[in-house]
Structure 1
Amino acid sequence: MIQLAYQDSDRGDMYVRGRKMPGEPKVTLSQTQLRLGATFDLGGMPAFSYLQQPVGSLHPGGTLSSLPGASGFGDTTMLLAVWPYANHASQTYFAVGGYLTLPTGDYQAGRVLNMGSNRVSTALQVGLQTAVLRNLHWMGAVDGMRSGTNKEFGPLRREQDQEVLYTAQTGLRYDINATFALAATYFYTWGGETRVAGVAQNDRTQLERYQLTAIANSPVGKLSLQYGGDFRTENGLLEDRRWVVRLTRFF
């Protein structure tokens, strides 16, 4: 499998502990992702693995326009997923996936914006998908991500640690016919408070966002167009919009 994706997103209003801060900050991310994957059998279970490498740029604007931007490679992510239960007759599938993200991305301690995170991250995800009606499918998933220490955070190069970051998601997909499908997904992310030099930053994540997807199967592969953004965030920049175009081809 090979997948090529392009993502463009804008972040705007800054929130601190649920309060909107003054000013008009803006950060635009433009990113291309290459994903190489393969399906196989693992212990009698269907399995899938991939390696993903992003490259892109971050451009600050508005009240953040004085900050330097960033460009280059992002961190490399690898996935191994297995399906302990896969019932094609009822279209019910239960999957478990493990992620490993390596700090291969461009990073400079003195910059506020970076393409890389300068730390190793691991995540575990469980997901369930089943048919509600003949053409309507429901999915749900929960994951937890644990990150290692960034030993060069900020201009003083202090150590930054982060608590486990959790995400739950649920969504529906409607198959219009064998060629076209539509989907809608809701995400809730929480946790992930950081510590810098052992001092809690009171920046716990509490984020709600959505994603709408249109899917088309074509002779060259599966094409998907996604649009989404944040409903609300407790801390950080609110993502106003996100566009993603993906082309996936299986061999």
Structure 2
Amino acid sequence: MKTRRIAALCGAATTALALAAGTAQAIDIQPMDWTPLPAGTSIAALYVLHGRNDGVTLNGSEIDGKLTTTFVLPRLAHYFELGGRPAAVSMILPFGKLSDGEIDGAGLNAPSGLGDMIISGGTWLVNNPEQRQSVVLAGYLKLPTGRYDSSRALNIGSDRHSVALQIGGQTAVSEKLTLEGTIDAEFFANNDNADGAGETGKTDTLYSFQSYLTYAVSPTTFVSAGYAAYKGGDQSIGGVETGFKSDRQQVRLGVTTFLNETTTLFGEFTHDFDVKGGFRQDTGLMVRVAKFF
């Protein structure tokens, strides 16, 4: 029983993370997100992300480029029951900085500040803790609270709303192995002044698939290997394709451990490959500290 509760506390920390400037965003998950916490439990978490992007792909062509991304994401979440089922709501307010940006030798601006707020909610359609089996349906709303300047190439904010629907779940593979999978679709409103001249910016629907295989090294330490694939998110301004989209694949490796009974530390390394539009994140690092109360 204690091991199952610890696994639950390690997860349940789904967040929305920026991919890179010029692309759409994705609703990213972390290991054991689909293990519900007891009703009445709350989470205060802090994410720190740092990414190094080397190279840009536009319209199928590889171009020299670079970009450094740094984000800090405070997050609050609360668990309760809805119609007799576990449920949760969450809010994230990102802060970030884009720096050292360059495309084909041309320097880019370096924006920083408040990002777009993300509000989410979900309910567990299936929850069998004895078998570590669950299925979750979740929805996300992103609000254009971030800084945006249509005259600049790079921005922290998007100046538009978006909504996403996500279904995910987990199942036990063995006593110590757990498999998780998630699919989602994100839909974007138009940006009515994407270039400062009144042209409409549009972004196609972004689809993603993510999975993790997690091994319990001990009752308080877990190692996870993950894979993600993103498709869509093609961008255009005034009906003209920009070449930026979110077609890419990613591998992940993470470790979760308990610092004490109610505090977890999670670290993850990510690497993009087969990028077909936008910056390629060669190295991504994330650290998350979460407190449960």
Quick check: 57-66 or 181-190, which moved more? 57-66
Could you tell me how far 1:245 is from its partner in structure 2? 0.5
The TM-score with structure 1 as length reference comes to 0.94
Could you tell me how far 1:182 is from its partner in structure 2? 0.4
* Whole-angstrom CA distance in 2 between matches of 1:35 and 1:205: 25
Alignment partner of 1:37 is 2:73: no
Kept in 1: contact 2:245–2:278 (CA 8 A): no
> CA offsets, 1:177-231, max 9 Å, x none?
1111000111111112223223344545321011111000121601000110201
CA spacing shift, 1:204–1:66, aligned 2, 3 Å: closer
Q: Secondary structure at the match of 1:31?
A: strand
* Whole-angstrom CA distance in 2 between matches of 1:154 and 1:186: 35
* Whole-angstrom CA distance in 1 between matches of 2:198 and 2:216: 51
What does residue 98 of structure 2 align with?
58
What does residue 145 of structure 1 align with?
186
* Whole-angstrom CA distance in 2 between matches of 1:33 and 1:131: 30
Quick check: 170-179 or 135-144, which moved more? 170-179
After TM superposition, list the pairs within 5 Å mapping 1:10-159 onto structure 2: 10-21=52-63, 23=64, 25-62=65-102, 66-159=107-200
Kept in 1: contact 2:171–2:178 (CA 8 A): yes
Matched residue type, 1:133: S
Q: Please give the root-mean-square deviation of Cα atoms over the aligned residues, in Å.
A: 1.5
Kept in 2: contact 1:59–1:70 (CA 8 A): yes
What does residue 181 of structure 1 align with?
222
Aligned length: 249
Alignment partner of 1:247 is 2:289: yes
What does residue 258 of structure 2 align with?
217
What does residue 231 of structure 1 align with?
273
Q: Secondary structure at the match of 2:274?
A: strand
Which ranges in structure 2 are unaligned for 5 or more consecutive residues? 1-42
Could you tell me how far 1:169 is from its partner in structure 2? 1.2
Percent of counterpart pairs with the same letter?
29
CA spacing shift, 1:187–1:61, aligned 2, 3 Å: same
The TM-score with structure 2 as length reference comes to 0.81
Return the structure number with greater strand share: 1
* Whole-angstrom CA distance in 2 between matches of 1:194 and 1:115: 16
* Whole-angstrom CA distance in 1 between matches of 2:126 and 2:119: 22
Could you tell me how far 1:157 is from its partner in structure 2? 3.7
* Whole-angstrom CA distance in 2 between matches of 1:15 and 1:117: 21
Matched residue type, 1:224: F
Q: Secondary structure at the match of 1:195?
A: strand
* Whole-angstrom CA distance in 2 between matches of 1:71 and 1:39: 32
Which ranges in structure 1 are unaligned for 5 or more consecutive residues? none
Kept in 1: contact 2:243–2:277 (CA 8 A): no
* Whole-angstrom CA distance in 1 between matches of 2:174 and 2:214: 11
Kept in 2: contact 1:18–1:233 (CA 8 A): no
* Whole-angstrom CA distance in 1 between matches of 2:78 and 2:188: 26
Alignment partner of 1:2 is 2:31: no
Quick check: 198-207 or 80-89, which moved more? 198-207
Q: Secondary structure at the match of 1:134?
A: coil
* Whole-angstrom CA distance in 2 between matches of 1:18 and 1:181: 39
* Whole-angstrom CA distance in 2 between matches of 1:231 and 1:66: 24
What does residue 7 of structure 2 align with?
none
Kept in 2: contact 1:47–1:82 (CA 8 A): yes
